[in-house]
A and B are shown apart, each in its own frame.
Chain A
Amino acid sequence: MVSRWFLRALVAGYLLMLVAWPVSLVATNAFTNGLDAMVMVFTDPGVVHALQLTVLVAGIAVVINTVFGVAMSMFLVRYEFPGKRLLSALLDLPLAVSPVVVGLALVLVYGGRDGWFGPFLESLGIRVIFSTPGLVMATAFVALPLVIREVVPVLTEIGTDQEQAAKSLGASSAQTFWRITLPAIKWAVIYGVVLSTARSLGEFGAVKVVSGNVLGETRTATLAVEELYLNFDQAGANAIAFGLAMVSVLCIVVVGALRPRHRI
């Protein structure tokens, strides 16, 4: 079959030129200066601080989004309430909004000088923009729908039979959730968490707007890559970029391998 081979070659060639080849070049570039250069970059105090901040911010954002996502999915699938369809559409909004618009939106509301709530929060001693809470909010915003989009279809598909059986046998709502519902949606939640983690670690545009890059204090890993690159430290930029790329590749490969082939 000529057409089959043609399609295979076309798809493989397209993905090679667009993704595989460029990504592998970054990997080789990261190692051209040897391991020593790499170790030097990752022991630089500024870079270490940026990595720690990234892990902290992404960690908090992922926890918030997981709890919010699983709860929201339960409300959307298991309950009826007015405005449900509108809410379900609005929850997809972060997928379609530019990261820069996300950052701007947060600055307009939580900016310390003339935001809507910013001055009030600042008078309570809470600084959001140019500080860690702002980074967490920006990160949580962009990754918001990922858990929900994985969990909702699975919750819909498993139905309510087992939950009702558990209830009729005397289980409380909490028991039913922890022992029946959660195990059934486990893989969807894990997949959602992994996608959120990858997205959160790599967020750049929204974080850049709210960070203000205050003396390196609010510099995350992606911001550090930009700064190194613009300061002509290509080796350093490549090393951190390679590290970030490795984490996201690992996320995808591990989950792809762990997840049962049959999608539930």
Chain B
Amino acid sequence: MTWAPTRPETPPADLEQRPLPRGRPLLQTNLTTASGIGLGVAMIWFSMLVLIPLCAVLITASEGGWGAFWSTVTHPQTFAAIRLTLLSAAAVTLVNVVMGTLIAWVLVRDRFWGKGALEVLIDLPFALPTLVAGLVLLSLYGKDSPVGLELAYTPASVFLAFLFVTLPFVVRMVQPVLEELEVEVEEAAASLGASRATTFRRVILPALVPAITAGAALSFARGVGEYGSLVLLSGNLPYRSEVASVRILGSIENDNLAGAASVAALLLVISLAVIVVLDAMQRRVADRG
């Protein structure tokens, strides 16, 4: 036999969720030389591609000091753009929490003809190029709208675009959790006299909260950073329909990289906060399974 059990056994899959017990050495690892080198190469690529560039944004933003950062961010036009972005993203996230959970519910618990088509519709905004998403929305909500809703170039167009591109996040987070949820628990609650509303509020909802929160965090982040779908749809009118990422692009095109970095740093901090929430919630979803 060529295989000698000198390597520590790989941990079973369920072990990795738990923190390492105290008292063990800090550098607890079972990497072999070859896998260690592989991980090193992967880390170098990840640093060159993601970590160092994102650090460059934060460092460039801080170079001018707090005063420069603050005056860039509170410049009236920039401030209006940031406010519109955050308010629209928050409103869209709220809609997604309700509609996303409902859609996931219907997809998991209901059976009807054409459900497969609905599944495709959910994934479509994720796969569709964002620029095309803007063009698509323009066809129904632009000039000469067939439904009489001309939202293009208004603040509402920002809300609409965010709603489109963030559609899959809550649905796709909640759906698998709902599939795992056992109907017996609900039946038990009902047999003990709980009304449907009580069963939903006390039994189903608590199980879904981590998944809903994770989906909401992703939708918020996606909304805050959205750019492509707005280019053609919102018209980017200052003080009216201009969002933060458009402001950043404007600064880049004017060769004002420091100003662009200040606004970008603000968005990046929001992204980091979202990642922290996402990590915590995904762990809770995994623990449940």
Which residues of A are at the interface with B, using a C-beta cutoff of 8 A?
A: 4, 7-8, 10-12, 14-15, 17-23, 25-26, 29, 64, 68, 71-72, 74-75, 77-82, 84-85, 87-110, 116, 137, 140-141, 144, 156-157, 159-160, 163-164, 167-168, 170, 173, 195, 198-199, 201-205, 208-209, 222, 225-226, 229, 237-238, 241, 244-245, 248-249, 251-253, 256
Question: Mask for B117-139, Cβ within 8 A of A = 1, else 0?
Answer: 01111111111111110011101
Nearest neighbor of A263 in chain B, beta-carbon distance: B176
Question: Mask for B32-70, Cβ within 8 A of A = 1, else 0?
Answer: 101100110011011001111110110010000000000
A92 touches B278 (CB 8 A): yes
**Bound: A249/B122 CA distance, A:** 11
B50 touches A22 (CB 8 A): no
Q: Which of A20, A85, A93, A195 contacts B50 (CB 8 A)?
A: A93
**Bound: A23/B126 CA distance, A:** 13
How many chain-B residues does the 8 Å CB contact rule pick out? 98
B49 touches A141 (CB 8 A): yes
A105 proximity list for chain B (CB < 8 A):
53-54, 56-57, 264
**Bound: A144/B51 CA distance, A:** 13
The 8 closest A-B pairs by CB, nearest first: A98-B225, A202-B129, A105-B53, A96-B221, A248-B127, A25-B139, A205-B227, A198-B127
Task: Flag whether B267 is at the interface (Cβ < 8 A).
Answer: yes
Task: Flag whether B177 is at the interface (Cβ < 8 A).
Answer: no
Main secondary structure of the interface of A (DSSP, over half): helix
Min CB–CB distance A201 → chain B (angstroms): 7
With contacts defined as CB atoms under 8 Å apart, how many contacts are there between chain A and chain B in the complex?
286
A160 touches B50 (CB 8 A): no
With contacts A10-B102, A82-B27, A173-B34 taken as known, whether A96 is within 8 angstroms of B271 at the C-beta atoms is yes
**Bound: A46/B39 CA distance, A:** 41
A163 proximity list for chain B (CB < 8 A):
10
**Bound: A141/B11 CA distance, A:** 30
Please name 11 pairs of A and B residues whose Cβ atoms are closer than 8 Å in the assembled complex, sorted by A: A4-B110, A92-B278, A98-B225, A98-B227, A101-B225, A101-B271, A159-B13, A202-B131, A252-B124, A252-B127, A256-B119
**Bound: A164/B274 CA distance, A:** 38
**Bound: A156/B285 CA distance, A:** 14
A198 proximity list for chain B (CB < 8 A):
126-127
A204 touches B49 (CB 8 A): no
**Bound: A96/B12 CA distance, A:** 30
B231 touches A203 (CB 8 A): no
- Could you say which of B75-83, B182-190, B204-212, B244-252 contacts chain A? B244-252
Nearest neighbor of B118 in chain A, beta-carbon distance: A15
A195 touches B264 (CB 8 A): no
B129 touches A203 (CB 8 A): yes
